[in-house]
Amino acid sequence: MGSQRTGFFDRLGLSDTVTRWGRAMQAPGAVSTRDLAAMRQQMLASRNRIDSLAAQAQSELLARTSGADGIDRPDQCDWAERAAPWRQRIRPRGHVRPGSPHEIGGGVTLFHDATEADLSLRQDPAPPDIRGPAFGLVLEVYRFDGSFLSLVQDLPEAAIKGLTLNHFIAVHLRVSREQPIEIYARLNIQHGPNQEQIVRQVDIRDGVGRAEFDLAYSKINEKRLEKAWLDLILESPEMNRLSIWDMVVLRAPRADI
């Protein structure tokens, strides 16, 4: 078992590096300030890499156990994914008074139209009674003179590979709100020089939100699909706290009528 572990870390290029760090830190006083600072940066970068790999391994293990990932898949679902900030750590964990646009990690970007945006967003561990996600995003908004705030999630290539007009795409949320707030989901699909946008209000009941996009009513060119992304749009978020404890995007063939 020990040799297997060593071989695995050797393949990642980490074993020799960690050994060098250990030797250097046995006598840190002999290391120059410049080298010590460079070493620390390498350590932080490696930690981020290991955290990302660990999150991917956890997602794969959950996917191999039927239903363990907490994703409610419809019949014939051919792709489903929990967005990155809900399954792996993001750094920095918190963001205060962000501008627009502002990348928060995991392929998620925050947008708003406010000139005065007294708000914070942070990643917290998911409550133990919610099965599947490891983390959630908690948004606290105080003074806010804009009309909307949105979280934009880039969708991976797997989401559009083989996508047809016979598919529907859905987003499933787990949320808690201090005050009622309207949430809209907007699916954006780039196909050639054109962009298709479909907007749906998220129907939230008992903390569970859903929105579906039936592509049969769209005008996408199946042969020229390039990229897709999803906006979660919060209308008038001032003086509110919104916790998004899960976000899953999936697709499946629509039922024949």
From 52-61, 153-162, 211-220, the region with the lowest mean pLDDT: 52-61
Chain centroid to CA 240 = 22
Asked whether the beta carbons of 167 and 155 are under 8 A apart, the reply is no
* pLDDT at residue 2 in the model: 46
Question: What residues have CB less than 8 Å from 34, skipping those under 6 apart?
Answer: none
- For residues 3 and 8, what is the distance between their CA atoms, to the nearest angstrom? 9
* pLDDT at residue 250 in the model: 95
Burial 152-185 (b: 16+ CB within 10 A, else e): bbebeeebbeebeeebbbbbbbbbebeeebebbb
* pLDDT at residue 66 in the model: 46
Asked whether the beta carbons of 85 and 137 are under 8 A apart, the reply is yes
Mean pLDDT of all residues in 30-57: 77
Residue 59: pLDDT band (50, 70, 90) is low
What domains are defined for the chain? 2-63 (no CATH), 79-253 (2.60.120.260)
Mean pLDDT of all residues in 113-123: 93
Q: Mapping DSSP to helix (H, G, I), strand (E, B) and coil, where does residue 183 land?
A: strand
Asked whether the beta carbons of 242 and 234 are under 8 A apart, the reply is yes
Burial class (CB in 10 A: 0-12, 13-18, 19+), 191: buried
* pLDDT at residue 3 in the model: 47
Per the prediction, the chain carries an average pLDDT of: 86
- For residues 182 and 79, what is the distance between their CA atoms, to the nearest angstrom? 27
- For residues 47 and 229, what is the distance between their CA atoms, to the nearest angstrom? 28
Mean pLDDT of all residues in 16-33: 82
Residue 50: pLDDT band (50, 70, 90) is confident
* pLDDT at residue 10 in the model: 56
What number of other Cβ atoms are within 10 A of residue 63's Cβ? Answer: 14
Q: Give the rounded percent of residues in the chain with a pLDDT score beyond 90.
A: 54
- Count helices and strands (H / E) in the chain: 4, 14
- Of the chain, the end-to-end C-alpha distance in Å amounts to 55
**What is the tens place of the pLDDT at every residue in 227-250?**
999 999 998 899 999 999 999 999
Mean pLDDT of all residues in 49-71: 63
- For residues 244 and 208, what is the distance between their CA atoms, to the nearest angstrom? 10
**What is the tens place of the pLDDT at every residue in 155-174?**
999 999 999 999 999 999 99
**What is the tens place of the pLDDT at every residue in 173-189?**
999 999 989 999 999 99
